[in-house]
Each structure stands twice: as structure tokens, then as C-alpha cells.
Amino acid sequence: MFTGQPNDPYTFAVVRISPQCQPRARFVDAAKAKPAENGWVLNDVIRVPNAACPSQQAVVHVWRKPVDKTPRLDGQGQQRIYLEEQSQKAKAGQLDAIPMYAAQMEVEGAACGR
């Protein structure tokens, strides 16, 4: 979201769509996670030009910390998910690990005078 503040022009927010939905990923604070130093993967770089000032652009680095999602196979070599088993794990708060994402934003370029 654009804030209009010169020191902190953009802010990020995680929004849950529905209370019943389980998260498939987690968004963490990049300043605390330090993704460039801790084995994260640079997932994407997004450049957004400032429409009012062509010499400026917002640059967002999106980092991802992957999780090993290798499927476990049963005795017949099949991957199976049992609803009752997964429901019990969810109720106990023992869900599988989910990938994490972090984003770092900076403004590049010269400011335009008004």
C-alpha cells in the first residue's frame, strides 16, 4: 500500500481471506529474517515506476525460504492423504511446515520537484 510518507512510502500487510482457510505460506519481516544472509532464495524482483515521477521507481525483492515437500509413499508406493489423520493434526496444531516469504522494498532514482 502506498503511504505517501517520504521516509516509508510503502507498507506491506498480510490479509486472511477466510477464518477457515489454513495458511499455505507465511510472510515474515525481512529485517528480522535477514533473507540475504540466511539461506533464502531470491524469488522475484519487482520494479514499479512512479507515474508522477518517471525518474523514480519502487524496487521490491521477494525472498522465499522453501520447505522440503517430498511426498511420503506408503507400502504400495502411493502417496496418500487421510482426511481424519490430517484433521487431527490440524486440531493439535501439528501442521506440516509451510514456506516463508519476505519482501524488501526501496525507492530508487532521483526525486522530482513539484
Mean pLDDT value across the chain: 83
pLDDT of residue 114: 57
pLDDT in tens, 55-108: 888 899 999 998 877 778 888 888 888 888 888 887 887 877 889 999 998 888
pTM, to two decimals: 0.66
Return the domain boundaries, the chain: 26-108
pLDDT at 110: 85
* 57 in Cβ contact with 111 (< 8 Å): no
Q: Nearest Cα to 49, choosing from 113, 114, 112, 94?
A: 112
The more confident residue out of 62 and 11 is 62
User: Cα separation of 11 and 4, whole Å?
Assistant: 10
Report the distance separating Cα 102 and Cα 33, nearest Å: 8
Give the Å distances, CA to CA, from 22 to 16, 60, 68, 83, 101. Answer: 9, 26, 19, 15, 16
With pLDDT > 70 as the criterion, what percentage of the chain qualifies? 97
Give the mean pLDDT of 12-27.
78
How far is 97 from 91, CA to CA, in rounded Å? 15
Would you state the pLDDT for residue 54? 83
